[in-house]
Amino acid sequence: MLGMIGVGPFLTLPAMLTAMGGPHILYAWLAGALLALCDGLVYAQLAAALPGSGGSYVYLREAYRPFGLGRRMAFLYIFQVILVAPLSISAGGVGFASYLGRFITLSDLQKGLAAALICAFMTWLLYRPTATLGKMSVAMLAVVILTVTWVIGAGLLHFSWAQAFDFPEDPQLLKHVGAVSLLAMYNYGGYNNVCNLGDEIRTPWKTMPRAIVGSIVLVVALYLALSTVILGTIPWEKAAASTTIASDFIGQVHGPIAAQVMTGLILFVTATSLFSVILGYSRVPYAAALDGQFFPIFARVHPKGHFPHVSLLTLGGLSLPFCFLSLDRLISWLILVQILSQFIWQCAGVILLRRYRQDLAQPFTMWLYPLPALLSLVLWLYVFVSAEWDGQLFALSFLGVGLLAYRGLDSRSR
């Protein structure tokens, strides 16, 4: 939940309203929720069958191994992580800098520097044993839930049902929902972070499916309530023009001092989300290096804390240059690259694993198998084709570069 509840909805809600041209973003939230739940069930089944660190790296490798494609798919996943992880981390940093601008006036360069600074600080905070991180996560989650509850509670006392659900007619509704669902999935993203920590979790075959599905259900409920109360209190045109919607909302309900307090809480929530994202991604190159599929230096662990410090510092450092890009560019690249290099292949992979890997114990099967996996595949493709062409081109180009890089690596290994 720490990975899912970050600055996302507090920053992207205005962009979602603008893209939809009205307050009916509820449709995009629901479409994203359906996709998140179906995709979460894919992760849950894979995590229960292959509960090791590395997450999708392990899933793709084992699902496509019977067809001689396991090494290729695993490499492509690691290749995209080297881009996706810094993009995801830097997007959180950019969101942090945006809300920080409510306290002090910042130029674009200063916002980039502030984003880079918070990314570096959270990387330093993670430079410690996993057991300590677990206790810190629980404390952080309590503050996150408090923040979201405050926004929802304040809205319930002041919002208008009629205003919240005053949806105009939209002849291009399906197209708009597809495009805005990309932003919704960015906000829901993070339910798969636990999959990267399988070796560090007790009874992972049971804990990880529960964590994935449970977090999705709870966060969907929170986001739907959050959007409804905000739009029922602030006219959607005004909300669409806001850059700090949560603070503006609380300021309208409780006054300027409360708005400043909310801004401080949003900054904390953003930092905790970065904490979770960096933690999860740092274990992926480590797992690949242990398997001999990535540079050996990434397999090193801290001599005292026994955590993968090289992988942690590398991904944290790579995120810093991306902190100077716009949030919409980061989100587009982040989601579209993952769709082509990871998500759609996992949807097929969970079916292939179930059918062709009878040697593996598979203690959890998704409800209505295999319908959620097939629906997830269709929805991911729908989100991709609904996106802007430049983002599609970037994702296709990156996939092509990854295939060429694997070809070069494979020829050298022979």
Q: Which domains does the chain have, with CATH numbers?
A: 8-413 (1.20.1740.10)
**Nearest partner of 208 among 189, 195, 190, judged by Cα:** 195
Q: How far apart are CA 321 and CA 343, in angstroms?
A: 26
pLDDT, residue 202, reads: 85
pLDDT score for 4: 81
pLDDT for residue 376:
96
pLDDT at 50: 93
Which residue is it, tokens 């990267």? 196
Structure confidence at residue 142 (pLDDT): 83
For residues 254 and 203, what is the distance between their CA atoms, to the nearest angstrom?
Answer: 45
- pLDDT for the residue numbered 413: 62
List pLDDT tens digits, range 329-370: 999 999 999 999 999 999 999 999 999 999 999 999 999 999
For residue 370, whether the previous peptide bond is cis, meaning omega lies within 30 degrees of 0, is yes
Here the contacts of 129-134 (C-beta below 8 Å, separation 24 or greater) are: 129/305, 129/306, 129/307, 130/197, 130/200, 130/307, 133/279
pLDDT of 411 = 65
DSSP state for residue 341 in the 8-state scheme? I
- Kindly report the backbone phi and psi dihedral angles of residue 7, in degrees, each rounded to the nearest multiple of 5, phi listed first: -75, -10
Give this prediction's pTM: 0.84
Please give the structure tokens belonging to residue 55. Answer: 């997450």
Alpha helices in 323-388 (DSSP H): 327-338, 344-356, 371-386
pLDDT, tens digit, 9 for 90 and up, residues 136-187: 777 777 888 888 889 899 888 888 888 888 887 777 777 788 878 888 998 8
d(CA 13, CA 26) in angstroms, rounded, equals: 11
Which of 14, 23, 378, 3 lies closest to 232 in space, CA to CA? Answer: 23
Block means of pLDDT (10 residues each) for the chain, 414 residues, are 76 87 87 95 95 86 95 90 92 91 91 95 83 72 85 86 83 79 88 84 89 94 91 90 89 91 88 83 83 82 82 92 92 93 96 94 94 96 91 95 82 62
Report which of 412, 318, 396, 366 is spatially closest to residue 49, judged by C-alpha positions. 366
Question: What backbone phi and psi angles, to 5 degrees, belong to 197?
Answer: -115, 25
